[in-house]
A = this chain, B = another copy of it.
Amino acid sequence: MTQQVEPPPISRLERKRNKKIDEILAATNEVLRDKGYDSINLEEVADKVDLTKASLYHYFSSKEELLTSCLDRVAEDAATRMRRVLEKYEDSPASVRLEQLVLEHLLIVTLDYPHVSELFTKRLKWPYAYRAQVKRMRSEHDKFFRDVIEDGLRTGEFVCDDPDLVRRCLYGAINGVPVWLTASSERAVRDLCDRLTPILLKMLTAE
């Protein structure tokens, strides 16, 4: 899912280390899903990877850095996936691209990174160490939807007076999904998406 882009040859040791880091980030993801950003504690993460708290400090210099890295990795992965979807459907009409973005987003926030929806739907409290990071992530993610919607409007495929507000509604709607949809398989998410898209598209359509 995540991708290494370093061109220089990586030593066996480095690979091992990177693997462990991946493991830790995955564990962090799991704990975040269960506890959330406010209540996560290092002990639990360490337990999941059979380490002690102290050992985590070989890989991350602080709790904050661990969470930051975790977030970075997620954001990167999410962006990559969204981008790929756009590439794959670049010749399709905006409505199809939008539908596929919605699907990918749902897969991300329900199956892979359930805690991410929290970041999209929670007001950021003061002082929030990840504030800047989350803001950037939000706006980058926003852009995927914004661009497709703009495109649809340009071609006349979509009709709408207030595209920003519509996008926010759409965003809210899909971010709300993980709240009530549980134990989802990819199958379930795809099915849901099939039913969801027509509803959402209505907001972008003239009556």
Q: Using a CB–CB distance below 8 Å, which chain A residues touch chain B?
A: 34-36, 38-39, 114, 117-118, 120-123, 125-126, 160-162, 165-166, 168-180, 182, 195-196, 198-200, 202-203, 205, 207
Contacts and interface: CB of A to CB of B under 8 A. Distances in A.
Contacts of A177: 168, 172
Contacts of A168: 173, 176-177, 180
A38 B36 CA distance: 9
Copies of this chain assembled into the complex: 4
Contacts of A38: 36, 38-39
A200 B170 CA distance: 10
A27 to B, nearest CB: 16
Contacts of A176: 121, 168-169, 171-173, 175-176
A180 to B, nearest CB: 6
Contact of A126 (B34, B166, B205): B34
Contacts of A174: 172
5 contacts: A34-B125, A120-B179, A121-B121, A168-B173, A169-B199
Contacts of A199: 160, 162, 165-166, 169, 203
Q: Which of A34, A39, A168, A178 is the most central at the interface, judged by chain B CB atoms within 10 Å of its CB?
A: A168
Nearest to A118: B122
A200 B175 CA distance: 16
A203 B166 CA distance: 11
Contacts of A118: 122-123
A35 B38 CA distance: 10
A46 to B, nearest CB: 15
Contacts of A35: 125
Q: Which of A121, A162, A177, A180 is the most central at the interface, judged by chain B CB atoms within 10 Å of its CB?
A: A121
Contact of A178 (B123, B125, B169, B198): B123
